Protein backbone atom coordinates (compact mmCIF):
# COMPACT_ATOMS: atom_id res chain seq x y z
CA UNK A 1 0.00 0.00 0.00
CA UNK A 2 1.29 3.47 -0.88
CA UNK A 3 2.52 5.63 2.01
CA UNK A 4 0.47 8.85 2.00
CA UNK A 5 2.24 12.20 2.21
CA UNK A 6 1.80 13.99 5.55
CA UNK A 7 -0.68 16.89 5.45
CA UNK A 8 -1.39 17.14 9.21
CA UNK A 9 1.07 15.46 11.56
CA UNK A 10 0.20 13.63 14.77
CA UNK A 11 1.56 16.57 16.80
CA UNK A 12 -0.49 19.11 14.83
CA UNK A 13 -3.66 17.01 15.25
CA UNK A 14 -3.11 16.50 18.97
CA UNK A 15 -2.55 20.18 19.66
CA UNK A 16 -5.68 21.25 17.75
CA UNK A 17 -7.85 18.51 19.30
CA UNK A 18 -6.79 19.72 22.76
CA UNK A 19 -7.79 23.30 21.85
CA UNK A 20 -11.17 22.17 20.54
CA UNK A 21 -11.80 20.19 23.71
CA UNK A 22 -10.99 23.20 25.87
CA UNK A 23 -13.27 25.45 23.80
CA UNK A 24 -16.14 22.95 24.04
CA UNK A 25 -15.56 22.57 27.78
CA UNK A 26 -15.82 26.36 28.23
CA UNK A 27 -18.90 26.73 25.99
CA UNK A 28 -20.89 23.95 27.61
CA UNK A 29 -19.94 24.79 31.21
CA UNK A 30 -23.12 24.28 33.22
CA UNK A 31 -24.63 21.82 30.74
CA UNK A 32 -24.82 18.65 32.79
CA UNK A 33 -25.79 16.11 30.18
CA UNK A 34 -24.02 16.69 26.87
CA UNK A 35 -24.63 14.02 24.24
CA UNK A 36 -21.60 13.60 21.98
CA UNK A 37 -22.51 11.95 18.68
CA UNK A 38 -19.53 10.70 16.66
CA UNK A 39 -20.46 9.96 13.04
CA UNK A 40 -19.27 6.51 11.98
CA UNK A 41 -17.06 5.45 10.70
CA UNK A 42 -14.73 8.31 9.82
CA UNK A 43 -14.78 10.23 13.09
CA UNK A 44 -14.12 7.39 15.53
CA UNK A 45 -10.45 8.22 16.18
CA UNK A 46 -10.98 11.98 16.28
CA UNK A 47 -13.92 11.56 18.66
CA UNK A 48 -12.01 9.21 20.97
CA UNK A 49 -9.22 11.79 21.32
CA UNK A 50 -11.61 14.74 21.55
CA UNK A 51 -13.80 13.42 24.37
CA UNK A 52 -10.69 12.89 26.51
CA UNK A 53 -10.07 16.63 26.18
CA UNK A 54 -13.63 17.59 27.24
CA UNK A 55 -13.86 18.07 30.99
CA UNK A 56 -17.65 17.73 31.41
CA UNK A 57 -20.21 15.05 32.20
CA UNK A 58 -21.15 13.60 28.84
CA UNK A 59 -22.51 10.53 27.15
CA UNK A 60 -21.53 9.11 23.77
CA UNK A 61 -24.03 7.89 21.18
CA UNK A 62 -22.84 6.71 17.78
CA UNK A 63 -24.61 7.37 14.51
CA UNK A 64 -23.61 5.78 11.21
CA UNK A 65 -24.06 7.58 7.89
CA UNK A 66 -23.40 6.40 4.39
CA UNK A 67 -23.47 8.69 1.42
CA UNK A 68 -23.80 6.96 -1.91
CA UNK A 69 -21.78 8.27 -4.79
CA UNK A 70 -19.38 7.32 -7.53
CA UNK A 71 -15.80 6.97 -6.28
CA UNK A 72 -14.86 9.81 -3.97
CA UNK A 73 -17.89 11.96 -4.89
CA UNK A 74 -20.85 12.30 -2.51
CA UNK A 75 -24.28 12.12 -4.17
CA UNK A 76 -26.46 13.60 -1.47
CA UNK A 77 -28.35 10.32 -1.15
CA UNK A 78 -27.68 9.64 2.50
CA UNK A 79 -28.58 6.60 4.57
CA UNK A 80 -28.48 6.11 8.33
CA UNK A 81 -26.61 2.81 8.80
CA UNK A 82 -26.65 2.88 12.60
CA UNK A 83 -28.96 5.02 14.69
CA UNK A 84 -28.76 6.51 18.19
CA UNK A 85 -29.89 4.20 20.98
CA UNK A 86 -31.14 7.05 23.19
CA UNK A 87 -33.76 9.74 22.50
CA UNK A 88 -32.34 13.21 21.84
CA UNK A 89 -35.47 15.10 22.84
CA UNK A 90 -34.44 17.94 25.15
CA UNK A 91 -30.73 17.05 24.99
CA UNK A 92 -27.71 19.15 24.03
CA UNK A 93 -26.24 17.30 21.05
CA UNK A 94 -22.69 17.75 19.76
CA UNK A 95 -22.15 16.03 16.40
CA UNK A 96 -18.53 15.00 15.81
CA UNK A 97 -17.69 14.58 12.11
CA UNK A 98 -14.44 13.81 10.30
CA UNK A 99 -14.88 16.11 7.31
CA UNK A 100 -17.49 18.39 5.76
CA UNK A 101 -16.97 18.16 2.03
CA UNK A 102 -20.06 18.92 -0.11
CA UNK A 103 -22.04 19.35 3.12
CA UNK A 104 -24.84 17.09 1.84
CA UNK A 105 -24.40 14.45 4.57
CA UNK A 106 -24.54 17.03 7.36
CA UNK A 107 -27.53 18.79 5.83
CA UNK A 108 -29.39 15.49 5.83
CA UNK A 109 -28.40 14.71 9.40
CA UNK A 110 -29.20 18.18 10.77
CA UNK A 111 -32.66 18.06 9.17
CA UNK A 112 -33.23 14.54 10.50
CA UNK A 113 -32.15 15.43 14.06
CA UNK A 114 -34.31 18.57 14.10
CA UNK A 115 -37.44 16.37 13.79
CA UNK A 116 -36.42 14.68 17.08
CA UNK A 117 -36.50 17.99 19.01
CA UNK A 118 -33.13 18.20 20.75
CA UNK A 119 -32.53 21.19 23.05
CA UNK A 120 -29.56 22.25 20.93
CA UNK A 121 -27.41 20.86 18.13
CA UNK A 122 -23.84 21.91 17.37
CA UNK A 123 -21.33 20.50 14.92
CA UNK A 124 -17.65 19.82 15.51
CA UNK A 125 -15.74 18.77 12.39
CA UNK A 126 -12.06 17.97 12.23
CA UNK A 127 -11.78 19.07 8.59
CA UNK A 128 -13.57 21.28 6.07
CA UNK A 129 -13.00 21.37 2.31
CA UNK A 130 -14.75 24.63 1.31
CA UNK A 131 -13.80 24.28 -2.38
CA UNK A 132 -16.34 21.49 -2.79
CA UNK A 133 -19.13 22.92 -0.66
CA UNK A 134 -22.59 22.50 -2.24
CA UNK A 135 -24.66 23.59 0.76
CA UNK A 136 -23.69 25.94 3.55
CA UNK A 137 -23.28 24.09 6.84
CA UNK A 138 -22.55 26.03 10.03
CA UNK A 139 -19.53 24.38 11.70
CA UNK A 140 -19.39 25.47 15.34
CA UNK A 141 -16.01 23.90 16.06
CA UNK A 142 -13.59 23.36 13.19
CA UNK A 143 -10.18 21.73 13.37
CA UNK A 144 -8.66 22.64 10.00
CA UNK A 145 -9.71 24.07 6.65
CA UNK A 146 -7.97 22.09 3.91
CA UNK A 147 -7.47 22.43 0.17
CA UNK A 148 -9.35 20.26 -2.32
CA UNK A 149 -7.36 17.03 -1.93
CA UNK A 150 -8.64 13.58 -0.99
CA UNK A 151 -7.24 12.86 2.45
CA UNK A 152 -6.90 9.64 4.44
CA UNK A 153 -5.85 8.55 7.90
CA UNK A 154 -6.83 9.30 11.50
CA UNK A 155 -10.11 7.49 10.83
CA UNK A 156 -10.67 8.63 7.23
CA UNK A 157 -10.56 5.98 4.54
CA UNK A 158 -10.06 5.35 0.88
CA UNK A 159 -12.10 2.22 -0.01
CA UNK A 160 -12.07 1.32 3.73
CA UNK A 161 -8.26 1.37 3.95
CA UNK A 162 -5.89 3.81 5.71
CA UNK A 163 -8.16 4.48 8.72
CA UNK A 164 -5.34 3.32 11.03
CA UNK A 165 -2.80 5.81 9.68
CA UNK A 166 -1.95 7.99 12.73
CA UNK A 167 -1.80 11.25 10.72
CA UNK A 168 -3.87 12.94 7.95
CA UNK A 169 -2.21 12.25 4.63
CA UNK A 170 -2.70 12.73 0.91
CA UNK A 171 -2.46 9.86 -1.55
CA UNK A 172 -0.06 10.93 -4.28
CA UNK A 173 -1.38 10.59 -7.81
For 119, residues 6+ apart whose C-beta sits below 8 A from its C-beta are 90, 91, 92, 93
| Known catalytic membership, residue 140 | no
Q: Applying CB under 6 A, which part among 10-18, 54-62, 91-99, 111-119 lies near ligand IMP?
A: 91-99
**Residue 14: CA count within 13 A, CB half-sphere:** 4
Q: Is 109 in the site for ligand IMP (CB under 6 A)?
A: no
Residues that bind Mg ion in the complex, under the rule CB under 5 A: 42, 98
Interacting residue with ligand IMP among 102, 126, 139, 167 (CB under 6 A):
102
Provide, for the chain, the percentages of residues in helix, strand and coil under a 3-state DSSP scheme, each rounded to the nearest 5.
25, 35, 45
CA pseudo-torsion sign 15, 103, 132, 152: positive
* Minimum gap (Å) between residue 61 Cβ and Mg ion: 16
74 scored as a contact of ligand IMP (CB under 6 A)? yes
Candidate list 4, 98, 121, 154; residue touching ligand IMP; CB under 6 A: 98
Question: Which residue out of 27, 32, 57, 101 is catalytically annotated?
Answer: 101
Contact between 103 and ligand IMP per CB under 6 A: yes
Q: Is 151 in the site for ligand IMP (CB under 6 A)?
A: yes
Pick left, alpha or beta for residue 6 (phi over 0 → left; psi -120 to 50 → alpha; otherwise beta).
beta
Amino acid sequence: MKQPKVMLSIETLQARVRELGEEITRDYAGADDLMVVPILKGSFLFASDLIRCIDLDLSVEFLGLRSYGAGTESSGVVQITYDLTQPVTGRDVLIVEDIVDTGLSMRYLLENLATRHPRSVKLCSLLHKPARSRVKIPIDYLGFTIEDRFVVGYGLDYAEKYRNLPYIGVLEE
